[in-house]
């Protein structure tokens, strides 16, 4: 016999017992009612058993309800739980509907946002990002500067500690007593003002005569020439002339030429000192050139004057 059949039999037995008890209570109530109608109000007798029962005079007896059985109570409990669950489901469905309606209204309001407001918000976001980057870079620089300052303070303390030792300052008078001197002397150029004035006049004259010296039209080839001349004041002089074709405008060529001539280039055999001339766009240069032969080395001193003329 299976377990389910056993449970069914038990339920049937319990129900039969309850029905039997109910029928017994009903029969007992009927018998007592009929006995009350025939016997005296103080006592009654039973012919079969010979037992005398003392019956008090009371009102009509109420029939007590039978308590529900275990199965009935369980069914009622499950029914109550089912009703509660249905009520909770109904409440949750109402809440879900409200949430869906609020979400739909929020999306609708979000779509209705004006483009200007969205653009302003994006600009503010970009500005906030820029400010954040600037602050991060400034904090990094601040940390680096603080580290450098701390290092410099430490170096300063160490230097002060070293300078306070007298034993380390021996020979400092010898170091600062002898001033360094240059191997080249420009004492001969201190009175070169007259030479520079003469060169200024010569350069101006050459500019005026450039129209007759330089031929018109683009030259076909590069040509260079040098001519030795004797000057009554300065003696032997050398005049060099070079001509080359160019593909750029004259203004660009003039700027390139002026930059090439005015920039000082270090040379181991030539030492020069450049200064700005008194004329506009001019430059004065004093130089010393070493000419080395097999037997001796000769120093040649010279004065150079450069000026740039701009044609209107």
Which percentage of the chain shows pLDDT scores above 70?
A: 56
Bridge partners of 288?
A: 271, 301
Q: Is 286 exposed, middle or buried (0-12, 13-18, 19+ CB in 10 A)?
A: buried
- Do 302 and 289 form a contact (C-beta atoms < 8 A)? yes
Closest CA to 55 of 74, 77, 73, 33: 33
Q: What does the domain layout of the chain look like in residue ranges?
A: 3-67, 187-307
293 compared with 6, residue with greater pLDDT = 293
Query: pLDDT category, 245, cuts 50, 70, 90?
Result: confident
* Residues 135, 143: Cα–Cα separation, whole Å: 12
Q: Which helix (H) or strand (E) holds 31?
A: helix 3-38
pLDDT at 69: 75
Residues 219 and 245 sit within 8 Å (Cβ to Cβ): yes
Angle between the N-to-C axes of helices 3-38 and 70-111, in degrees from 0 to 180, rounded to the nearest 10 = 120
DSSP assignment of 185-212, as one string? --GGGTT-HHHHHHHHHHHHHHHHTHHH
Least confident of 131-135, 248-252, 266-270: 266-270
301 exposure class (CB count in 10 Å sphere: 0-12, 13-18, 19+): middle
Q: Which residue has the tokens 């008890």?
A: 21
Strand (E) or helix (H) holding 77: helix 70-111
Q: What is the pLDDT of residues 87-129, one digit of tens each?
A: 998 899 898 888 888 877 766 666 665 666 777 788 888 899 9
Pairing of β 282-292 and β 270-276: antiparallel
Taking CA 71 as the corner, what is the angle to CA 69 and CA 72, rounded to the nearest 5 degrees?
65
Using CA atoms, how far residue 166 sits from 99, 115, 172, in Å, is 88, 78, 11
Identify the weakest region by mean pLDDT among 20-24, 149-153, 177-181, 306-310: 177-181
**pLDDT at position 283:** 74
- pLDDT above 70 (res 33): no
The structure tokens listed for 117 are 């407001």
Between these two residues, 216 and 133, which has the higher pLDDT value? 133
Q: Would you tell me how many other CB atoms lie within 10 Å of the CB of residue 305? A: 19
Token look-up 């001193």 returns 301
Q: How confident is the model at residue 165 (pLDDT cuts 50, 70, 90)?
A: confident
173 vs 171: CA distance, rounded Å: 5
């Amino acid at each position: 016999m299976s377990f389910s059949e056993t449970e069914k039999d038990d339920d049937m037995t319990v129900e039969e017992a309850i029905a039997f008890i109910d029928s017994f209570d009903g029969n007992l109530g009927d018998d007592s009612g009929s006995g009350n109608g025939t016997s005296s109000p103080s006592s009654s007798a039973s012919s079969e058993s010979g037992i005398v029962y003392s019956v008090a005079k009371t009102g009509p007896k109420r029939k007590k309800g039978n308590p529900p059985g275990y199965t009935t109570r369980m069914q009622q409990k499950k029914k109550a739980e089912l009703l509660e669950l249905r009520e909770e489901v109904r409440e949750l469905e109402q809440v879900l509907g409200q949430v869906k309606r609020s979400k739909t209204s929020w999306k609708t309001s979000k779509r209705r946002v004006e483009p200007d407001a969205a653009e302003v918000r994006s600009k503010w976001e970009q500005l906030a990002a820029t400010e954040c980057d600037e602050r991060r870079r400034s904090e990094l620089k601040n940390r680096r500067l603080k580290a450098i300052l701390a290092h410099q303070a430490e170096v300063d303390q160490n230097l002060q500690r070293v300078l306070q030792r007298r034993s380390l300052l021996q020979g400092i008078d010898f170091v600062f007593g002898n001033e360094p001197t240059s191997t080249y002397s420009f004492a001969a150029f201190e009175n070169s003002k007259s030479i520079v004035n003469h060169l200024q006049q010569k350069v101006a004259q050459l500019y005026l005569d450039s129209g007759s010296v330089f031929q018109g039209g683009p030259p076909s080839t590069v040509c260079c020439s040098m001519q030795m001349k004797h000057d009554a004041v300065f003696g032997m002089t050398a005049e060099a002339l070079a001509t080359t074709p160019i593909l750029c405008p004259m203004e660009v060529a003039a700027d390139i030429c002026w930059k090439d001539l005015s920039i000082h280039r270090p040379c181991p055999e030539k030492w020069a000192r450049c200064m700005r001339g008194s004329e506009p766009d001019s430059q004065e240069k004093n130089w010393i050139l070493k000419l080395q032969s097999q037997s001796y080395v000769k120093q040649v001193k010279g004065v150079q004057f450069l000026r740039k003329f701009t044609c209107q």
